[in-house]
Amino acid sequence: MRKFFLSALVLLSAFAGGMPLWAQQASAFAASAQASGVAKQPSDLHRLELESTLQQFGNTDNSAGMGLFQPLSGSVTELKVFREAGDYHRAQEGNADLGFRFSTLRYDRLTEQLFMRGSFYYSYDSEKDRKWSDVIDPYYSIPYIYGSSIAKNYDRHHCRLDFDLYTTPLSDIVSVGVKLNYEVADISGRRDPRPRTGYLNLRAIPSVLLTFGDHHIGLDAGYGYSKEKLSGLATVQSYPNLYYYRMSGLDHMDGTVAGYSGFKRQFEGHRGLGELSYSWTSKKMDVLVSGGFEYESLSAYGDNKQIPGTFNALTYKLQAGLNVRGQAALHAVQMNASYKDGGADEYLQEKVSVIDRKTGISTQTWETLYIYKNRYVMGKTDVCASYRYYGGYTGGDYRWSVGAEAGWSSYRRAFYLPFSSAGATGWNLGVEGSCLLLRLRGHKLDLSAYCKGYLHGESSLELTSDNLYVQEVLLPDQAFYAKDYVRAGGSLSWQFPLNLGKAGAANGYVRLCGGYLRAFPTGFYNDISLAVGLFTF
């Protein structure tokens, strides 16, 4: 089928007066498999990594641009178990995580000009001894979070479906595509007071790509909806002095004994996003520059439609990618920058009870008396650049690679009336490399290693309260950001051929990964994982 498609493409291009370069590239990539003499081969780990690098639009929200580079049709499925643990973590994170992940990814051609990429991801993990946060993101989102000071284990189920549908250029100019994301999660705490949170996230992003010879201009815009809901907290026993806390930004919080009783809260969010991309493809070089934004609006709701507050944020993203194909070499440069600017409006509300004098029926509503606009603000910046060199590059494989990365990150949070603030900056540096140790009769043994470091920059903390949340969360977090660390690790992968009978040939693999982080002056974190996977058609 793939041969037929390529042939048709060549014919059409000849008819149109020349094959566009992106088509040349795609056919060359596919032809590399044919040139090896194997008519039909499943993908493998190296090819998967190269496809991810060369599929530049795969890192954007523009599905239409994915038609510029078409990986081999087929799928990869992986099951991974992992464990990580250590004392270098933020106060609202656990000190260990144990679980497994199942994922599958497939590229396929549906019709002559219609392609798809679909993936399914499921994970279950148990985060140990987490406290002070019964929400998914306590750091860079809505500040009206809640939690208990009792450390407990949290079990999480997370499921995600991603689907990209895209075309090759229709009439040689316009490609269209759509990206759909569906995500659900369930998080439950395993100690009193026991929270149970459900999460839903949906996104739909249609896109278009205009092709003018070697130049491509892409545009995508979409909508997202999310909901995070705490239905209630259960207790197995009764406690005379068990507090539950509601936060409103930085050091401002309110704690009540048995405050978990009847406590409900949900965050409902709407997102609008857009992105403009430019790509230039040639025989030896591909360039992609993409800039976009995402506007997010979250509202918190309590009991009886009480509104503690709302949060809105604008995130700007900029990314650039450069792939240069040399003589048996591939250079890949990637730069990403993002800035998130958010602010929360705090609502001062009063419960109004109206009693019908005739029937005695009481009606309760929440009346908003005042809104503190942008009482809580936050800003987060991340900049990262990476370079990777693939040696022995043949189009669908490579023998070794080496790379380096550098980045800078900062965050700032502030609360007004009275004023509190916290912030930190830091630099990331890292080197990595990989090498094919052995290739024999379809078997491959691959070794990779990395070494990364973090250097802290300036940090600040200015507070007006001295409560338990300050002592157990904000001060330890500030100490966390003030530490440097070095992290080293690697992986060993063994890939082997399989014959699945009527299903044809496949490639299986086993990969063992591990890493160790050492923070200075104190702190450590280690991780280990074992994955088994399968490449099929």
Partner 1 sequence: MKRISYLFVLGLLLMACKREVPVAIDSFRMQFAMPEECRDDIFYAEQTVNFRGPAQYSFRTDARGGVDIQSLIPGIYDINTYIEMSGREYKALLKEASTLSDDARLMLGVSLLNRRIFSAEDLNLQILAMQLSDLVISKVYYSGTKDKMDRNYTVDGYVELFNNSDHTVYADGLYLALAESVSPAAYPAKDNPDSIYARQICRFPGAGTDFPVEPGKTLLVAARSARNHKESAPTSVDLSQADFEVKLEDGSGNPDVRRLPIVSNSTAVQYFNLLSGGPNAVFLFATDEDVVNDWPEVYQRGKTSGERFRRMHKSVVLDAVECLKKPAQSDPDVNTKRFQDEIDAGYITINAVNGYNCQSVERRASRFENGRYYLVDTNNSSTDFTVSNDPTPGKYDKEGLQ
Chain residues that interact with partner 1, rule: CB under 8 A: 237-238, 240-241, 244, 246, 256-265, 302-303, 306, 314, 316, 339, 341, 343, 348, 350-353, 355-362, 364, 369-370, 372-375, 377, 379, 381, 383, 408, 410, 416-418, 425, 457
Of 180, 198, 182, 207, give the one whose Cα is nearest residue 67.
Answer: 207
Closest distance to partner 1 from the beta carbon of 41 (Å): 46
- By C-beta, is 86 or 291 nearer to partner 1? 291
Task: Tell me how far, at minimum, the Cβ of 203 lies from partner 1, in Å.
Answer: 23
Nearer to partner 1 (CB atom), residue 107 or residue 263 = 263
* 3-state SS, residue 318: strand
Amino acid at 186: D
Q: Please say which residue, 229 or 399, places its beta carbon nearer to partner 1.
A: 229
Which is nearer to partner 1, 84 or 346 (by Cβ)? 346
DSSP secondary structure of 47-61: HHHHHHHH-GGGGSS
Give the residue with the Cβ less far from partner 1, 341 or 484. Answer: 341
Closest contact distance (angstroms) between CB of 359 and partner 1 is 4
**Which tokens in the block code for residue 91?**
């106060």
Q: Taking the complex as a whole, how short is the minimal distance between the CB of residue 453 and partner 1, in angstroms?
A: 15
- Comparing CB distances to partner 1, the nearer of 36 and 364 is 364
Pairing status of strand 243-249 against strand 146-147: antiparallel
Residue 265 CB neighbours (<10 A): 22
- Side chain identity at residue 97, one-letter code: D
The dihedral over CA atoms of 153, 154, 157, 160, expressed in degrees to the nearest 10, equals: -130
Q: Which is nearer to partner 1, 396 or 430 (CB)?
A: 430
Lookup: tokens for 261 = 């009783």
The least CB distance from residue 430 to partner 1, in Å, is 18
CA–CA separation, 54 vs 410, rounded Å?
A: 30
- Least separation in angstroms between residue 528's CB and partner 1 is 35
Element (H, E) at 300: strand 285-301
The CA–CA distances, whole Å, from 256 to 109, 129, 142 equal 58, 22, 21
d(CA 193, CA 198): 16
d(CA 221, CA 178): 10
Phi, psi (rounded to 5 degrees) for 26: -65, -40
Helix (H, G, I), strand (E, B) or coil at 466: coil
Q: How far is the CB of 416 from partner 1 (least distance, A)?
A: 5
Nearest-5° Cα angle at 403, 397 to 404: 160
Smallest gap, in angstroms, from Cβ of residue 306 to partner 1? 7
Toward partner 1, which CB reaches closer, 5 or 132?
A: 132
What amino acid occupies position 431? V
